[in-house]
Amino acid sequence: MKRLAVVLAVCVPLLCGSYAEYLSAQHKFRLIESDRLHHGSRVTLTKGELNAWVRQEIAESFPRGVRESRLELGTGTAVGSALIDFGQIRRQQGKPPGWLMSKILDGERPVEVTAAIRSSGGRATVDVQSVKISGIAIEGRVLDFLIHNYLLPNYPDAKVGQPFELSHGIDRLDVKPAAVNVVIR
């Protein structure tokens, strides 16, 4: 019985803290989307809030195939990582891979994506700098090839390496190691 009490004493605050951070992030996103913030307002999304929100969104979008997602922030950069089973994701999207592709795509692999994020004047640009799959770095021309021949055809709304408009009156995103500040025009 004591062991159960110790486990609950350790786990419950962690789970509740994460859920509280998710709710806080969700509230802040709704506040931004309400278009009621005044000029110069700042909404700060902490790294914990963003991680909780990303985990929940991924769990809803891909109940199987992605786990242990994590977001690390730097000055103007973000690194996202997760364990991903690409075959499972394709199946959930209603596009099961053929026999040969399933041999390549099936199985969980550690994936890490590093991106630079620039924004000002109501526009932002996300430049993918590198992708690591199972510790193998993909950069330069090979990465450009994969973005243009796999990512964009499968996710045509993705904006990679090109400026896009920030909605809801957002002027810029100040990405720092501990948080992202959303600044309203």
* pLDDT, tens digit (0-9, with 9 covering 90-100), for 27-76: 999 999 999 999 999 999 999 999 999 999 999 999 999 999 999 999 99
Q: Compute the average pLDDT of residues 115-123.
A: 98
CA atoms within 13 A on the CB side of 79: 12
Per-residue confidence band for 184, with pLDDT thresholds at 50, 70 and 90: very high
pLDDT at position 154 is 84
Residue 75 φ then ψ, to 5°: -75, 105
d(CA 38, CA 116) in angstroms, rounded, equals 28
Q: Compute the average pLDDT of residues 129-137.
A: 97
> Quick check: 163 pLDDT over 50?
yes
Per-residue confidence band for 7, with pLDDT thresholds at 50, 70 and 90: very low
What residue ranges do the domains of the chain occupy?
A: 2-180
> Quick check: 8 pLDDT over 50?
no
> Quick check: 10 pLDDT over 50?
no
Helix axes 47-61, 2-33, angle to 10 degrees: 90
pLDDT at position 122 is 98
pLDDT at position 3 is 45
**Average pLDDT of the chain to the nearest whole number:** 92
Per-residue confidence band for 17, with pLDDT thresholds at 50, 70 and 90: low
Neighbours of 94 (CB within 10 A): 6
